[in-house]
Structure 1
Amino acid sequence: MMSYLLPSFSLVFEEENLEELRSDLWNNDPVPADLIVDDVTYDIDIAYRGSYTRKFRKRSYLIEFVNPETFSGKRMIHLNAEYKDPSLIRNKLSFDFFHDIGVLSPESQHVNLIRNGSPKGVYLQLESVDEYFLKKRGLPPGPIYYAVNNNANFSLLRDEKMKKSLLSGYQRAVGTETDDTILLNFIEHVNHTPLADFQNKIPDLLNVDTFLHWLAGAVCTMNNDGFTHNYALYHNSQTGLFEFIPWDYDATWGRKVDGGPMQYDYVHIEGKKSNHLCYLLMRVPEFRKRYRKILGDILENKFTVNYMENKVRSLHEALRPHILLDPYKHTKMDIYDQEPEFIFQFIRDRNSYLKKQLVNFD
């Protein structure tokens, strides 16, 4: 296959601004820089992003556009290093998979990153989940929250201790402080609605169908962290319902956050019970029945090697010439070259496991 020409993103820092950025890995305050794409120069603010990933040699960035204020219809983008994913494709593969099964998900594209003339390798450009995300899809405005830690579990408790705040697991990306009452009301209803009333009450607050599709996607791709964080919540002002949007899906398709293998049966067919909303929905026979059909259809038609093979191989082969030039990855080509078959074997094993679990799911 011929080399696929990835877009080049060239970051240009004043030396003092680069030093300020480097001086404190945990500082979220951005510094100014220029970003040059296709001979167009954008004034930007840039900061490191992520939590534990900031300690890696190859770091991820959050970029906000200042002048002009948008880039390809986006105000903010994330540049993910994908440092622990040997394939560098799992995040994109996951978001594209979610899109294919009918779940709102960010657009993504691989790019070659250059910083002050020095190549920094292949990155994944991710669309931010914000008001521009909604506008691009013609969706009604509404508050958006990122689930940023395991307090985002829809329970009154974490580790059997009462939370100081039910909103402590969330970071508001869009909306105002008054919107927080909408999310707070939702979490309180999840916890105080009797199970006998759950089937009738929760559909007034949650788009159950899209939730069940999101759950099926998280269960198939096996994002172990995707149930109590690594998602965004969007409250559709037109329907009055919450919808789930996947986020940070690099530790998927058979690999853990450290890049090591994860057993295909590690994540339960119902997701994780630590997500209290997930747990309660799966206690309702009608919702279980709907989930069973959704997951069964996906296992038959989408989560298969037949459906995914061309997507995986095309992406993998397209990136290979660029990975060879990546200063952080080029010495690990033997692992990179084995990744398609690793992913296919995971799909076979996971698909078979989930189908067996579905037999007695009712």
Structure 2
Amino acid sequence: MGRGAGGWVVGLVGLLACGPGTPAAPKGVAPASEEVRPGRPDEAVSDAGTPTASTGEYPPVQSTVPTFALQVAPGDLQKLNADPTSNESIPCTVTLDGTRATGRMRYRGASTRDLPQKSYKIELGPGQELGDRDHFELLASWSDGGKLTEKFAVDLYQAMGLPVPRARYARVSVNGEPQGLYLDMEHVGKDWLKHHGHERDASIYRCGHRNCELTPKPGSYQSNFEKKTNETTGREDLTAFLEWVNRSDDVRFEEELERRVDVEAYLGNLAADLLISNSLIEDSRSFWVHALHADRWTYVPWDLNNARMLYWRTWNPASAPVVDRWPQPFTLYDPAVQELFETRVTTRPEQRPAWSVLATRVWDRPALRARVLAKVEAALEGPFSEAKAQAHLDALWKVVEPELRNDPYTSAEHVKRARQYLRDYVRGRRAYLLKTLDALRAHGSGPLVIREVATGTTGYVELYNRGTRALELGNYEVTNDLRATVRARLAQGTLGPGQAVRLTASGDTSKGPLHLPFTLSRNGGEVGVFDRERRSKATGRAVLYGPEDAVWFGPLPAGTVYGRKGGGESEDFERRTP
């Protein structure tokens, strides 16, 4: 619809609609009386070899800090330092707990390889293991002022019973030179499947670079999913999964989600992300594990140091934590979507708003949303209570603080403040969340909704005012692409309470003010309506998040429409004939 379309008033005649229309938890950490196998992040296994049940308690804190002693030829090390961004590995020898093994190593990470303290990726040679592991991810955490954030986050997720990779603190030396304190993060691969009780032949997919959105195809600035196991087989399972996420409707969404996904784990991750302000999942390179026999997908998070609770060592040491990030991270309702877009589009014109399709759809379903919030409330009473969270931070600090004294890469000023910073974050975040729970429960209760969608040559979008006051339609925009930065502005007009307006998706605005500049595919798609009066503080443009309503729909054959039940008042949808 052109912005210059003439004004009009919506009447009731002709514009109303035609009709009213707990799976097995991850392994716990070995109790003090149980021997922890060398070389593996602390974990316990039940007699049956399956994960032990979560108790809602943090794992016991390690009592010793192992050392990874790496030996490499000086020439090879020089080659590695000449191009830290290269993924070409060099030969190495690793000694851990008195046991030696050979393999290859390289630097790891995306934006961290140019930092003074390097992170390492190690792959042992065929048939070699250290403590039942053959891959190691040694994270330097240089940007974390106290090296507490990611370990605390991992332990919190574990306390919530989530399938997060385990982590422990370790020292690293290279050719006898101490490199400081690291986080030994469990590699997500075949060993992970074995240690966490998953199908041994499951397919592991890793999100591509800046591509954890679950869209069908990556953008030009993103990379595709990597297949980490079963590499020689096809990717039809991933293609079908992404197609379902993006091209299915809400009629059977919850039922299908239960069948396709480890829902308890996924909803728990949404709750945990909310607690730690994890809004940069876009580039986390997290994992989706497909159990081939059960035909179920499990989400496994990665890079929890992307959370906004991180105590950045590049900040002023006296900086206070930011505790009021909106608690729907990495969804279409997250203000950080706007911030990230406006930051990146200046150097990458093809950048699109980044958010997770699946997480957004979960928040839009009342029953699923209620389950997420129930998990949040349980965490606020349990592991994220002030007493339990701060006690665990204090226990971690007893391990970390002596090690940081000898870490050649730390900032002494930040180390002094690190523990208190995170204690302040927990206290402030809890207070903020407790104040916003009611608003989260009321998500999706706005007055303007999409009541019905039809596709093809007779396609349309029908908007409905279920509120108590008249709405000025010229203040709204409609789109068939929820990541679009330009949307179709509606012409001036008044939509009173209980009234609806049908906008024809003809793709030809010259036919009149009730025609949209796009069509709707019978193969499925999405539609959203946005309030264009909401503006970005930084640029003054209409915001790219927080639609008044958004709808996904699957393939719709001719003669079938998709819409809300109950004339538009319901949050439940159905397919029907006009």
Q: Is the pair's TM-score, using the shorter chain for normalization, greater than 0.5?
A: yes
Deviation of 1:361 (Å): 2.8
Deviation of 1:250 (Å): 1.9
Deviation of 1:157 (Å): 7.1
Residues 177-198 of structure 1 show CA distances to partners (whole Å, capped at 9, x for unaligned) of 5352111111101111012332
**Residue of structure 2 aligned with 1:233, choices 275, 288, 304:** 288
Q: Distance in 2 between matches of 1:256 and 1:275?
A: 25
Q: Distance in 2 between matches of 1:171 and 1:257?
A: 30
Instruction: Report the counterpart of residue 99 of structure 1 in structure 2.
Output: 158
Contact 2:211 2:285 in 1 (8 A): no
Q: Distance in 2 between matches of 1:257 and 1:336?
A: 11
Q: Distance in 1 between matches of 2:228 and 2:313?
A: 28
Deviation of 1:149 (Å): 2.5
Deviation of 1:337 (Å): 2.4
In the comparison of the two structures, how many residue pairs are matched? 353
Q: Distance in 1 between matches of 2:68 and 2:414?
A: 26
**C-alpha spacing 1:307/1:253, structure 2 compared with 1 (3 Å):** farther
Ranges in structure 2 where 5+ consecutive residues have no aligned partner: 1-61, 333-354, 442-578
**C-alpha spacing 1:311/1:148, structure 2 compared with 1 (3 Å):** farther
Deviation of 1:7 (Å): 1.2
Q: Distance in 1 between matches of 2:372 and 2:269?
A: 10
Q: Distance in 2 between matches of 1:40 and 1:155?
A: 44
Deviation of 1:241 (Å): 1.3
**C-alpha spacing 1:345/1:257, structure 2 compared with 1 (3 Å):** closer
Q: What percent of counterpart residues are identical?
A: 21
Ranges in structure 1 where 5+ consecutive residues have no aligned partner: none
RMSD after superposition: 2.3
Deviation of 1:300 (Å): 1.6
**Residue of structure 2 aligned with 1:325, choices 403, 406, 420:** 406
Q: Distance in 2 between matches of 1:325 and 1:256?
A: 20
Deviation of 1:75 (Å): 1.6
Q: Distance in 2 between matches of 1:258 and 1:192?
A: 43
**Residue of structure 1 aligned with 2:82, choices 23, 29, 35:** 23
Deviation of 1:57 (Å): 0.8
Q: Distance in 1 between matches of 2:314 and 2:216?
A: 32
Q: Distance in 2 between matches of 1:325 and 1:132?
A: 32
Give the 5 Å matches for 1:333-352.
Answer: 333-352=412-431
Q: Distance in 2 between matches of 1:267 and 1:175?
A: 39
Contact 1:253 1:346 in 2 (8 A): no
Q: Distance in 2 between matches of 1:131 and 1:95?
A: 20
Deviation of 1:270 (Å): 5.6
Instruction: Report the counterpart of residue 221 of structure 1 in structure 2.
Output: 276
Q: Distance in 2 between matches of 1:258 and 1:61?
A: 20
Q: Distance in 2 between matches of 1:259 and 1:221?
A: 20
2:249 is equivalent to residue 190 of structure 1: no
Instruction: Report the counterpart of residue 277 of structure 1 in structure 2.
Output: 358
Q: Which residue identity lines up with residue 308 of structure 1 in the other structure?
A: A
Instruction: Report the counterpart of residue 139 of structure 2 in structure 1.
Output: 80
Deviation of 1:169 (Å): 3.8
Instruction: Report the counterpart of residue 57 of structure 1 in structure 2.
Output: 116
**C-alpha spacing 1:170/1:193, structure 2 compared with 1 (3 Å):** same
Q: Which residue identity lines up with residue 134 of structure 1 in the other structure?
A: L
Deviation of 1:38 (Å): 2.4
2:140 is equivalent to residue 140 of structure 1: no
Contact 1:46 1:61 in 2 (8 A): yes
**C-alpha spacing 1:157/1:171, structure 2 compared with 1 (3 Å):** closer
**C-alpha spacing 1:341/1:258, structure 2 compared with 1 (3 Å):** closer
Contact 1:219 1:271 in 2 (8 A): no
2:387 is equivalent to residue 306 of structure 1: yes
**C-alpha spacing 1:48/1:84, structure 2 compared with 1 (3 Å):** same
**Residue of structure 1 aligned with 2:104, choices 35, 41, 45:** 45
2:157 is equivalent to residue 115 of structure 1: no
Q: Which residue identity lines up with residue 248 of structure 1 in the other structure?
A: D
**TM-score normalised by L of structure 1:** 0.90
2:130 is equivalent to residue 71 of structure 1: yes
Residues 95-142 of structure 1 show CA distances to partners (whole Å, capped at 9, x for unaligned) of 111111011111111111111111111111111011101101222131
Partner of 1:195: helix, strand, or coil?
coil
**C-alpha spacing 1:68/1:239, structure 2 compared with 1 (3 Å):** closer
Q: Which residue identity lines up with residue 431 of structure 2 in the other structure?
A: S
Q: Which residue identity lines up with residue 73 of structure 2 in the other structure?
A: E
Instruction: Report the counterpart of residue 73 of structure 2 in structure 1.
Output: 14
Instruction: Report the counterpart of residue 149 of structure 1 in structure 2.
Output: 209
2:267 is equivalent to residue 212 of structure 1: yes
Contact 1:270 1:282 in 2 (8 A): no
Partner of 1:57: helix, strand, or coil?
coil
Residues 160-185 of structure 1 show CA distances to partners (whole Å, capped at 9, x for unaligned) of xxx479x9442222223535211111
Deviation of 1:39 (Å): 2.5
Bigger Cα Rg? 2
Q: Distance in 2 between matches of 1:199 and 1:184?
A: 20
Contact 1:53 1:59 in 2 (8 A): yes
Partner of 1:50: helix, strand, or coil?
coil
Contact 1:270 1:279 in 2 (8 A): no
**C-alpha spacing 1:227/1:203, structure 2 compared with 1 (3 Å):** farther
**C-alpha spacing 1:195/1:74, structure 2 compared with 1 (3 Å):** same
Partner of 2:102: helix, strand, or coil?
strand
Contact 2:180 2:407 in 1 (8 A): yes
Q: Distance in 2 between matches of 1:264 and 1:128?
A: 30
Partner of 1:51: helix, strand, or coil?
coil
Q: Distance in 2 between matches of 1:15 and 1:53?
A: 22
Deviation of 1:321 (Å): 1.8
